[in-house]
Amino acid sequence: MNKTADRTSILAICVVIVVLLVIGYLSAGSLGTFGITVLSGLFQGMLLFLVASGLSIIFGLMDILNFAQGAYFMIGAYVAYDLQHPGGVIDLTAIIPDPNVRFPVAVFGAILVGAILGVVLERGLLRPLYARPIFQLVLTFGVSLVLLEMVKFIWTTTPYSWTEVFGVRENFFELFGQRFSTYRLFVVGMGAALIIGIALLLRRTRIGIIIRAGVEDSAMVEALGINVRAIFTLVFTLGCAIAALGGAVAAPFLGASTSIGTTFLIQGIAVVVLGGMGSYEGTAVGSIMVGLAIAVAQSAAIGTDFAALPSITPMLLLILVLLLRPSGLFGGSGAR
């Protein structure tokens, strides 16, 4: 990417964020309410990042738009809910009575299930279809439907609201006269740590350098003596596991429902296109922008007839960015 394009992107990012913050502040009316909007935006942005980062890296490296990524998010939410609450498929309450200890175990369980299902999908189903990209697209869509039906079969179609009380979920802190959820702050912190962690993995480690090289030209990486298919499996599995982690940490706030996967998949695709297909930096920045935009739209829509505003906001933002930069914010640079 040349310097002019670089400046246009950074300018576009700054303009969008400042506009969002100004609208957020005006619609909130007070600093405390504005703070809640920002925290809620960052919370949603981090959850989006957990879906979109996998979508983006998998697309960049393997040229697969994984339509099943939302289903992995949904399964993460259900598995975490199931492990945390009594009376589930696997009842951990007797073995681990302390909910504060059970929660990390539930999250880990969700990551594990996501990773196992990721390996099965890549090795068992996608691998024979590498020469047929369209078939792969249809296959991941089909797998997402199968996973959805599987969830309905195991947990029924009734949405679950998180009822189990545990430390960080219940705590609040006060700022500008408003009560803020510690759990949201925890998820924002975890998301930020993951953004930095994955960036360091991609920049500083040999496997990360190989992944970035593979995003540019996987055939050349293979010709240099690297088993690219093993890298594909690793990246695909990590992508699915991170999506399941997203669902698991979202569940205490959003519960577990069959619609949660589709919502996050559509928003995640908007983030990936907006950030520039295959660009990791674009995905990170795009997630935060879309998360903030949704929160501002939610705040602005209160008391008006525009109840649909938050759900159409990601697409409105996507249209705006693509009009300014048709290849996305970081398109044609970064990882790609």
Partner 1 sequence: MTDNLLEIHEIHTFIGQFHILEGVSVRVPKGSITVLLGRNGAGKTTTLKSIMGMTPPARGSITFEGQSLIGKRPFTIAQMGVGYVPEHRAIFKALTVRENLLVAQRTSTDLERKADLIFQLFPDLKRLYALPGGNLSGGQQQMLAIARALVPDNRLLLIDEPSEGLAPVIIEQLMAAITQLSAQATVLLVEQNFRVASKLADRFVIIDEGKSPIHGEMRSLVGDEALIHRYLGVA
Under the rule (CB under 8 A), what is the footprint of partner 1?
Answer: 206, 209-210, 212-213, 215-217, 219-228, 333-336
Compare residues 87 and 206 and give the one whose CB is closer to partner 1: 206
Compare residues 149 and 216 and give the one whose CB is closer to partner 1: 216
The distance of closest approach from Cβ of residue 223 to partner 1 in the complex, given in angstroms and rounded to an integer, is: 5
User: b/e for 154-177, b at 16 or more Cβ within 10 A?
Assistant: ebeeeebebeeebeebeeeeeeee
- Which of 264, 309, 310 is CA-nearest to residue 287? 264
The distance of closest approach from Cβ of residue 216 to partner 1 in the complex, given in angstroms and rounded to an integer, is: 5
Q: 146 pairs with which residues across the strands?
A: none
Q: What tokens does 325 get?
A: 């930069």
- Which of 319, 122, 85 is CA-nearest to residue 229? 122
The distance of closest approach from Cβ of residue 227 to partner 1 in the complex, given in angstroms and rounded to an integer, is: 5
Compare residues 170 and 217 and give the one whose CB is closer to partner 1: 217
Compare residues 210 and 240 and give the one whose CB is closer to partner 1: 210
Q: What tokens does 172 get?
A: 């609040």
- Which of 62, 55, 327 is CA-nearest to residue 214? 62
The distance of closest approach from Cβ of residue 222 to partner 1 in the complex, given in angstroms and rounded to an integer, is: 5
Compare residues 221 and 284 and give the one whose CB is closer to partner 1: 221
DSSP per-residue string spanning 114-141: HHHHHHIIIIIIIGGGTT-HHHHHHHHH
The distance of closest approach from Cβ of residue 123 to partner 1 in the complex, given in angstroms and rounded to an integer, is: 16
